């Protein structure tokens, strides 16, 4: 395998790409040369050059995006981020030119043989999702997404004499003291209330823009375009709707049982919204050390798990490819990025002293390790798979780390595992809710902001029937979804987590009964990377597709039994 470049993240060179000369090279050199090529060999050489250019461009963008999210108040970083927002349509245009040119070849089967048939599927999806008529809308969409990111990143919320970011505020929302929890949620959604109009306006504009793009492309609305953007090549909205129905039938009853048990454990007659984050009257399990401690333990854990994981974590630490702690001005959330030219991943998170720190690190390390294992991928499109498959790597890693939880949580490790599994079950209905909400929103793009909130509350009653906001402002009116970044920035990217969780639960069961086999399957799907579509990756991991009848029911029964045994 290739050795990743020996630089730290800080030292990675960055220069704003020259899109004019790149566009000329695509249009005047590469595309005509490809069309004139007389053999598959000649075509493949051009694809290789092209792949190199796409790798350069993708690397520049990934570096700019990460550096901006590290400090949204840095004007130079903001300018580079804005450059890529504005460049989004031109970059799409370049990608589409690449896709059209290659798909126009009479030797597609030889191309598929050299690069894998998944490249053809990816290019087909890409070809359909852009025409120059939507260029302006694409740029505006990116700008609106960045406006939303900035609005949330720069929140400085007064709370008991301190000024907290949204990530930092997550900690008091799970305080054992009920009044503290409620006050924290009031402070949190007070910020949203203060920006109500802007949040509504950004989303309303996004929905109308996306609907318009879908119509311009001849899809009659956004949904089909949304699926194409997610490169969902082996299933569609009908399969996803059936999967949501399975969640409603199979998972919601167990989720309700878990909530009832939680209320009893907390000694509450009625579990309110601000009680939901607390699972134990003693407080949720907390890591027994700070961020540096967690990282040190993670390093030992990965060395103990497998030599490849050990090499991977050493690389991440030695090359400074992690930014874990929360800071003012740093964008909220956690994600994993990848720099194709250097063949290294990057992990971004916001540690806040809760169990979340361990979860986010194992989760993002799952993504990053898969990228690391796929670093010799033939084309840039294969470094990561489509997102529902990506999340199998991350969520399975959270479960594969279970035997090591004593290192992070000490005596509370068992409580952590219980809560983690319960959390996985509780998450599924929420993910289905976010997904159905978006399908409804894009099916009825003319809804007013107020009507969208009513729709959310309506769906919430079906998926989270226990939910009671206890009169908490903003969320009582149906505004909760406005804190969910995906709904703004990555439409339809959410059910992916539920599809992947369904696979990760299978990986959990396998690891409980046969850990070596589970690890073997895990490494296999990491190596596959993005070279196959979702359901084929699932098969390579010897897992059952979430779309198969009964798949979810089995996982849910296993979780129910495991949890009942340990109550």
Q: Which residues bind Zn ion (CB under 5 A)?
A: 394
Helix, strand counts (H, E) of the chain: 25, 5
Nearer to Zn ion, 50 or 492 (CB): 492
Answer yes or no: are the C-beta atoms of 106 and 82 closer than 8 Å: no
Nearer to Zn ion, 262 or 350 (CB): 350
Nearer to Zn ion, 339 or 469 (CB): 339
Nearer to Zn ion, 55 or 370 (CB): 370
Helix (H) or strand (E) holding 159: strand 157-159
Question: For the chain, how are helix, strand and coil distributed in percent, rounded to 5?
Answer: 70, 5, 25
Q: Shortest gap between Cβ of 69 and Zn ion (angstroms)? A: 15
Nearer to Zn ion, 118 or 394 (CB): 394
User: What is the CA angle 49-337-210, rounded to 5?
Assistant: 85
Q: Shortest gap between Cβ of 435 and Zn ion (angstroms)? A: 16
Answer yes or no: are the C-beta atoms of 382 and 530 closer than 8 Å: yes
Q: Shortest gap between Cβ of 335 and Zn ion (angstroms)? A: 7
Tokens 């539920």, located at residue? 498
User: 103: which 2 tokens?
Assistant: 């798909």
Rounded to 10 degrees, the C-alpha dihedral 34/35/39/44 comes to 20
| CA–CA separation, 349 and 341 (whole Å) | 23
Nearer to Zn ion, 89 or 385 (CB): 385
Helix (H) or strand (E) holding 351: strand 344-351
- DSSP helix/strand/coil, 281: coil
Q: Shortest gap between Cβ of 363 and Zn ion (angstroms)? A: 6
Nearer to Zn ion, 92 or 323 (CB): 323
Q: Shortest gap between Cβ of 490 and Zn ion (angstroms)? A: 11
Nearer to Zn ion, 164 or 432 (CB): 432
Distances (CA, A) of 471 to 375, 412, 449, 467, 530: 50, 33, 20, 12, 46
Q: Shortest gap between Cβ of 431 and Zn ion (angstroms)? A: 12
Instruction: Give the contacts of 520 (CB within 8 A, at least 6 positions apart).
Output: none
Q: Shortest gap between Cβ of 74 and Zn ion (angstroms)? A: 26
Nearer to Zn ion, 99 or 428 (CB): 428
Nearer to Zn ion, 175 or 435 (CB): 435
Phi-psi category of residue 88: left, alpha or beta, with phi > 0 → left and psi -120 to 50 → alpha:
alpha
SS (H, E, C) 385-417: CCHHHHHHHHHHHHHHCHHHHHHHHHHHHHHHH
| CA–CA separation, 109 and 111 (whole Å) | 5
Tokens 């702690």, located at residue? 325
Q: Shortest gap between Cβ of 500 and Zn ion (angstroms)? A: 8
User: Please, what is the end-to-end C-alpha distance for the chain in angstroms?
Assistant: 47
Q: Shortest gap between Cβ of 67 and Zn ion (angstroms)? A: 21
Read off φ and ψ for residue 468, nearest 5 degrees: -140, 115
Closest residue by beta carbon to Zn ion: 394
Tokens 């704003």, located at residue? 16
Q: Shortest gap between Cβ of 9 and Zn ion (angstroms)? A: 20
Q: Shortest gap between Cβ of 387 and Zn ion (angstroms)? A: 8
| CA–CA separation, 369 and 345 (whole Å) | 8
- In 288-339, DSSP assigns E strands to 322-325, 335-339
Nearer to Zn ion, 274 or 363 (CB): 363
């Amino acid at each position: 395998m290739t050795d990743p470049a020996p630089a730290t993240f800080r030292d990675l060179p960055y220069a704003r790409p020259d899109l004019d000369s790149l566009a000329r090279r695509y249009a005047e050199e590469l595309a005509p040369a490809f069309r004139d090529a007389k053999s598959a060999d000649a075509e493949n050489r051009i694809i290789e050059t092209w792949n190199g250019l796409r790798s350069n461009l993708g690397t520049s963008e990934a570096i700019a995006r990460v550096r901006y999210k590290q400090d949204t108040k840095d004007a130079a970083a903001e300018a580079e981020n804005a450059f890529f927002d504005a460049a989004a349509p031109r970059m799409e245009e370049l990608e589409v030119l690449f896709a059209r040119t290659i798909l126009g070849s009479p030797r597609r089967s030889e191309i598929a043989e050299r690069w894998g048939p998944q490249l053809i599927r990816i290019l087909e999806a890409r070809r359909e999702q852009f025409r120059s008529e939507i260029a302006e809308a694409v740029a505006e969409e990116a700008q609106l997404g960045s406006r939303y990111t900035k609005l949330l990143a720069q929140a400085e919320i007064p709370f008991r004499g301190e000024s907290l970011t949204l990530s930092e505020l997550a900690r008091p929302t799970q305080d054992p003291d009920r009044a503290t929890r409620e006050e924290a949620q009031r402070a949190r959604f007070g910020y949203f209330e203060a920006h109500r109009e802007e949040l509504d306006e950004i989303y309303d504009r996004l929905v109308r823009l996306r609907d318009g793009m879908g119509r311009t492309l001849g899809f009659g609305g956004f949904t089909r375009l949304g699926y194409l953007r997610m490169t969902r090549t082996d299933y569609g909205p009908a399969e996803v709707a059936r999967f949501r129905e399975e969640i409603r039938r199979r998972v919601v009853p167990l989720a309700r049982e878990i909530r009832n048990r939680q209320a009893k454990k907390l000694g509450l007659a009625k579990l309110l919204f601000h009680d939901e984050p607390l699972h134990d009257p003693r407080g949720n399990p907390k890591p027994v050390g700070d961020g540096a401690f967690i990282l040190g333990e993670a390093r030992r854990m990965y060395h103990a798990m497998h030599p490849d994981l050990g090499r991977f974590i050493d690389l991440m630490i030695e090359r400074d490819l992690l930014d874990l702690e929360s800071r003012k001005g740093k964008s909220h959330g956690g994600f994993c990025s990848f720099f194709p030219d250097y063949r290294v991943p990057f992990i971004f998170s916001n540690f806040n002293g809760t169990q979340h720190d361990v979860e986010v690190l194992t989760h993002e390390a799952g993504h990053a390790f898969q990228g690391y294992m796929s670093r010799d991928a033939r084309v840039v499109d294969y470094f990561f798979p489509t997102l529902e498959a990506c999340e199998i790597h991350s969520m399975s890693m959270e479960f594969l780390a279970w035997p090591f939880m004593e290192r992070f949580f000490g005596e509370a490790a068992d409580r952590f595992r219980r809560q983690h599994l319960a959390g996985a079950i509780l998450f599924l209905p929420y993910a289905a809710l976010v997904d159905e909400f978006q399908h409804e929103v894009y099916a009825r793009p003319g809804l007013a902001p107020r009507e969208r909130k009513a729709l959310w509350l309506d769906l919430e009653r079906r998926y989270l029937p226990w939910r009671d906001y206890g009169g908490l402002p903003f969320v009582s009116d149906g505004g909760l979804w406005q804190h969910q970044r995906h709904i703004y920035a990555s439409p339809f990217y959410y059910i992916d987590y539920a599809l992947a969780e369904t696979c990760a639960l299978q990986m959990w069961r396998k690891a409980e009964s046969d850990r070596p086999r589970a690890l073997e399957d895990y490494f296999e799907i990491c190596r596959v990377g993005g070279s196959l579509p979702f359901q084929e990756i699932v098969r390579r991991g010897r897992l059952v597709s979430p779309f198969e009848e009964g798949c979810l029911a089995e996982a849910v029964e296993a979780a129910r039994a495991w949890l009942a045994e340990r109550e």
